[in-house]
Structure 1
Amino acid sequence: MDKMYIKDLEVYAYHGVNIEEKNMGQRFLLSIDLWLNLREAGESDDLTKTVNYAELCHNVEKEFTKAKYDLIETCVEKLAQYILLNYEPVEKVKILLKKPWAPIGKPLDYAAVEIERFWHRAFIGLGSNMGNKKQNLEEAMELMNTGTTRVIKSSNFYTTKPVGYTEQDDFLNCAAEIKTLLTPRELIEFLLNIEKDLRRERIVRWGPRTIDLDVLLYDDIITSLEEIIIPHPRMHERLFVLKPLSDIAPYVMHPVLNKRIVELEQEAVKTQNGDEIIDMLK
């Protein structure tokens, strides 16, 4: 991936724990590394195909000075999010913030913090078997497509048989690819809030629900977090997950099983004779 650099941009701002820092302000130095594809801009000599770093510097200064924060950690977090949300070509950003006048009562060149933030790629399984199922899935994706999470593509909708607790209505399932700035823990909390907004109640395990949102894959990571296990531990057994996921990501690799999604789908069809899938919604 190509990179663009901005080194030691000087900005006067009013951040700091001490009241004097917020009243008098001080000089800060910002260094920003951007990861993006510069090939098209290089071949076309077209400024619109890249990031205008002069404009970026002015906008960064405006963003950096519009509020007063106690911590420089907060400053860089807000700034990284601003850049990633407002500059579409940028896939990753690293920010080094130096505070040359840090009031610690000791001589030093500067105090500083540095962070890296980037867009993550994740796949979400969606299901509903209460109320207007199609509307529930569409509303869930609309709610996902806000702020720090964006829906990139979605699969066909499939009517499927319930698994586990079978005394309930058929499900409507789909899958969505998203890009997100959220960590896995933040993402699952975000999805749980969407389920709450869409009136999901957890009464019977695997029971009826207005909406069910599962993180299937997140980048290539493997976790054992109590809150969220990635990859989803049962996704390779569930044709109602694999069929829609194969619509949008057939060649994505399962990081544990080391097989492509389309291969896992084919194996599930042989094992289950395709019985979980009833029909594709036209």
Structure 2
Amino acid sequence: MADVHPSTRLDRIAVHGLSAHAFHGVYEAERRLGQTFRVDAVLELDTAPAAADDDLERTVNYAELARALHSVLTGEPVDLLETLAQRLADVCLEDPLVDAVEITVHKPEADLGVPFDDVAVAIRRERP
């Protein structure tokens, strides 16, 4: 089997269902009462160096990642899920090992006026 160039490696680290009560939204009631938000983060990176040396320092520590994402989720409120997703993606891309990230922000308690299971915004960002 030929060697895979690191830039084409499709290794992923995922954190699914990170949740918090937060105060994002455009409506006054959302800002006052808050609601549950959930986040899924899928990071793309080369995990081969970490695996070869069994070394946490050569990969993303997903406990630290989860805490950083939770801090953004519960931090300064924003109007749009798109803005929140971008801020979460920016946190992930601060790690120089991360080549790309997909963030999905779920707002299952949004007031849509009709029955629904979930509303979500998903973005994918790559390191420039």
Task: Tell me, yes or no, whether TM beats 0.5.
Answer: yes
| Equivalent position of 2:95 in the other structure | 87
2:21 to 12, 37, 55: 12
- Per-residue CA distance 1:43-91 (angstroms, 9 max, x = gap): 111111110101110111102222111111110011111221x211001
Tell me the CA shift for residue 13 of structure 1.
1.0
SS at match of 1:102: coil
| Equivalent position of 1:62 in the other structure | 71
> Is 1:107 paired with 2:106?
no
Pick the structure with greater CA Rg. 1
1:98 to 106, 117, 125: 106
| Equivalent position of 1:143 in the other structure | none
Q: Which runs of 5+ in 2 are unaligned?
A: 1-8
Q: Which runs of 5+ in 1 are unaligned?
A: 121-282
Percent of counterpart pairs with the same letter?
37
| Equivalent position of 2:30 in the other structure | 21
> Is 1:36 paired with 2:84?
no
Q: Which amino acid aligns with 1:117?
A: R
2:83 to 70, 74, 81: 74
With the length of structure 1 as denominator, give the TM-score of the two structures. 0.41
SS at match of 1:40: helix
Alignment size in residue pairs: 119
With the length of structure 2 as denominator, give the TM-score of the two structures. 0.89
SS at match of 1:76: helix
Tell me the CA shift for residue 6 of structure 1.
1.0
Q: Which amino acid aligns with 2:122?
A: E
Distance in 1 (alpha carbons) for counterparts of 2:28 and 2:15: 30
